[in-house]
Amino acid sequence: MTAKAKTGSSIVETIKTIVYALLIAGVFRTLFFQPFWIPSGSMKETLLVGDFLFVNKMVYGYSYASCPTVKIPAVGLNIDAEKICGFVGGDNTRLLGGDPERGDVAVFRHPVTGVDFIKRLVGMPGDTVQVKDGVLHLNGAAVGLQDAGDFEEVMERQGPAGSFPRCENGPVGQGGSCLKSRQIETLPGGSSHTILNITNQGMDHTGIYQVPEGHYFFMGDNRDNSADSRLPQTAGGVGFVPYENLIGRADRIMFSSGGRSMLFFWTWRSDRFFKAVE
């Protein structure tokens, strides 16, 4: 075999190896676990900007939303999951479907934009949901609340987007102590988690939402800094989320970095590595 033929064969083998690796990674991500970076503070303090986790796709079964969206901006490639797996969508059902539970922290596709969101499931199909004076009411009854002091963080840029946190004790100068009131919220069924309060605003006083069958109502734990089911899709919220739009449940934080880049090792939060999501 000539040197030229050997070189050509080597290139072909390299391409084949890359293609096989991409196929294996695609199957793994579609069927089992999807990586997810937390880009915003809407789920503080449960999830912080810069937390990295794997979403368990097996617990809810599979729908078109289980397929990954393929984006490679450098070559202009943008193939939405619905184009890849849309043939299994449209009827709000799932293959090997499992029912989500109230209190789950779940990733789902926005019903209109297709962007992945992560929020807490608070309203089940058939529930009525209302927020009165900042207190969540389900089926006419207030959820359990217990004061739990303050959540404190430094007023500094967070994550790759470099956004500043919002503070209840604002205005706060850069480098200062940013505080939010913390409470323990207990949902029907016994699931408990922390929620944060920043201010008194419109989403602390809502009308009554009736969750349709086959849909779910999601809210962020950082209640005054979350675009969620309290806002309609036309107003930047997510509205009611169909069953088929669920992607998976967030079970455990694998890695966490508080800096602008994960390469800034001095900003790693080792106390959050492998921490369970509650």
d(CA 161, CA 76): 22
Would you state the pLDDT for residue 261?
80
Tens digit of each residue's pLDDT (9 = 90 or more) over 101-115: 999 999 999 999 989
Would you state the pLDDT for residue 96?
85
d(CA 174, CA 48): 19
Q: Which domain holds residue 207?
A: 32-276
Q: What six digits make up the tokens of 128?
A: 């009525």
Query: Do 109 and 153 share a domain, yes or no?
Result: yes
Query: Do 49 and 36 share a domain, yes or no?
Result: yes
For 64-214, where are the E strands, in sequence order? 70-72, 77-79, 105-109, 116-123, 128-132, 135-138, 141-142, 144-154, 177-186, 192-197, 209-210
Query: Do 20 and 117 share a domain, yes or no?
Result: no
Query: Do 101 and 16 share a domain, yes or no?
Result: no
Query: Do 62 and 9 share a domain, yes or no?
Result: no
Regions of the chain short of the pLDDT cut 50: 19-30
Would you state the pLDDT for residue 19?
47
Would you state the pLDDT for residue 69?
76
d(CA 258, CA 165): 13
Query: Do 23 and 67 share a domain, yes or no?
Result: no
Query: Do 76 and 15 share a domain, yes or no?
Result: no
CATH number (domain holding residue 231): 2.10.109.10
Query: Do 98 and 153 share a domain, yes or no?
Result: yes
Assess contact for 33 and 57: CB atoms under 8 A: yes
pTM, two decimals, is 0.86
The total domain count for the chain is 2
Helix (H) or strand (E) holding 40: none
Would you state the pLDDT for residue 176?
96
Query: Do 142 and 196 share a domain, yes or no?
Result: yes
Query: Do 135 and 223 share a domain, yes or no?
Result: yes
